[in-house]
Amino acid sequence: MDFEKYDVVIIGGGPAGCIAGEHIKHHNVLIIEEHQSIGAPLQCAGLISKKGVKELGNPKGIVNKIKGAYIYSKNNTLKIGDDDEIRAYVFERKVMDKDIAIRASKKADFLLKAYGRLIDNNLNKKKNLLNFKTFSKNRDLKYRLSIHHLGETYTICPKVIIGADGARSNIGKSAGLSINREILSGAQLEMVNVNIDDDFVYVFFDRTFCKDFFIWIIPMGKDRVRVGLCNSSNTYKKLLNFINNHPIASKILKNAVPVEFSVGTLPIGYLKTTVKNNLMLVGDAAGQVKPLSGGGLYYGAKCAKICGKIIDEYLANNYGLSYLKNYDKLWKKDIGNEIKAGLRFRTLIKKMDDKKIDKLLEFIIKNNLVEHITKKGDMDNPSIILKDLFKKFLN
């Protein structure tokens, strides 16, 4: 393979990597994916807002339409949304990711079953340690990549590298960027034979079953659901405990049969810097994720487009490397405040025990706020309604 012809190499063939590739319109792009198939293994519940679907370019793979949510605390229930408006869609991620990749293939080449590693030219090769003298002299030395493919290793020097390698981003770690953020593990089962209201997702806040996040049942239509949770540890055990012992869920799921198990990782908190030298991070690798729901597809798509556009401008105009830093500024201008607000609310909600969560739901019911939340709530910018709600609740 002629690696030298590529101006940009993207590590990771997920939605963020593919959308970034799709938006580098005038230069040669290669997308490297370690797995044998785009979109597999599944690591997602596949719930995407209407705005998110548009941002992702209306991909294929919709299996259900969602009009709202039932929210459960230990002793209370809310029904947010109404039968009139579709608010989100449930996707088969394998279909969606492949469709986005097919679009990207009009602009980018793909190499599957290939693994990318970052090589830091400032590292002292013998000791594999940062040599500070070399570093300060050659601050502008670009990163290179080593690509492992079919038993061979290739070293390549693209003009720009994108790390779109997901939540655990080894590319980001190698550059010293992906540090100090909360990482949650997710476990999920797709189950069939479930009789459920297909138009609404079910969200459970119950510290006995899930201490660090929430649990979801997402209807996929035709008696299929995804049941999952995220937590800091023991997620699969916790999920089985929920399915078997939660007073409401165990009834809903009493005849359910599992047909697919998946695990995944959620990064909570974005990176201070997502550009270093000729390296840019995008999607989960950059922490472009909603801290309150873990949804990363909408933000990832938005930022991938910005990333692609900046690279195109950089390469077309022969700008200095510092031009790439505009990506950092632009995506934070767009979604940085919402992520920051989400992180503050996450800290607040994490401190709430089951009694407090019960009280919050009770407060919403007693003060007839359900309609207000239905009208003003926005799953992509939840901080607006939460600010309003907590102001009333805490006063």
Ligand X SMILES: Cc1cc2nc3c(=O)[nH]c(=O)nc-3n(C[C@H](O)[C@H](O)[C@H](O)COP(=O)(O)OP(=O)(O)OC[C@H]3O[C@@H](n4cnc5c(N)ncnc54)[C@H](O)[C@@H]3O)c2cc1C
Residues near ligand X (CB under 6 A) are: 11-17, 32-35, 43-48, 115-116, 164-166, 170, 186, 188, 228, 230, 264-266, 283-285, 289, 294-298, 300
Query: How far apart (Å, rounded) are the C-alpha atoms in residues 73 and 248?
Result: 11
| Comparison of 328 and 369: residue with beta carbon closer to ligand X | 328
Q: Considering the complex, what minimum distance in angstroms separates the CB of residue 277 from ligand X?
A: 18
| Comparison of 33 and 328: residue with beta carbon closer to ligand X | 33
Query: How far apart (Å, rounded) are the C-alpha atoms in residues 19 and 38?
Result: 13
Q: Considering the complex, what minimum distance in angstroms separates the CB of residue 148 from ligand X?
A: 9
> Considering just the CA atoms, what is the radius of gyration of the chain in Å?
22
| Comparison of 284 and 338: residue with beta carbon closer to ligand X | 284
Q: Considering the complex, what minimum distance in angstroms separates the CB of residue 15 from ligand X?
A: 5
Looking only at the bridges linking them, the beta strands covering 29-32 and 129-130 are: unpaired
| Comparison of 302 and 369: residue with beta carbon closer to ligand X | 302
In the 8-state DSSP scheme, what is residue 338?
Answer: H
Q: What tokens does 274 get? A: 């997502």
| Comparison of 16 and 369: residue with beta carbon closer to ligand X | 16
| Comparison of 289 and 306: residue with beta carbon closer to ligand X | 289
Q: Considering the complex, what minimum distance in angstroms separates the CB of residue 285 from ligand X?
A: 6
Query: How far apart (Å, rounded) are the C-alpha atoms in residues 324 and 147?
Result: 23
| Comparison of 105 and 265: residue with beta carbon closer to ligand X | 265
Query: How far apart (Å, rounded) are the C-alpha atoms in residues 172 and 80?
Result: 38
Nearest-CA neighbor of 346 among 392, 279, 293, 267?
Answer: 293
Q: Considering the complex, what minimum distance in angstroms separates the CB of residue 130 from ligand X?
A: 21
Q: Considering the complex, what minimum distance in angstroms separates the CB of residue 134 from ligand X?
A: 25
| Comparison of 371 and 378: residue with beta carbon closer to ligand X | 378
Residue with tokens 């040599």: 131
* Cβ-based neighbours of 363, under 8 Å, separated by 6 or more: 369, 392, 393
What residues are paired with 231 via a beta bridge? 185
Q: Considering the complex, what minimum distance in angstroms separates the CB of residue 352 from ligand X?
A: 22
Size (the chain), residues: 395
Query: How far apart (Å, rounded) are the C-alpha atoms in residues 25 and 69?
Result: 39
What residues are paired with 185 via a beta bridge? 231, 265
* Cβ-based neighbours of 264, under 8 Å, separated by 6 or more: 42, 43, 44, 167, 185, 186, 188
Q: Considering the complex, what minimum distance in angstroms separates the CB of residue 136 from ligand X?
A: 29
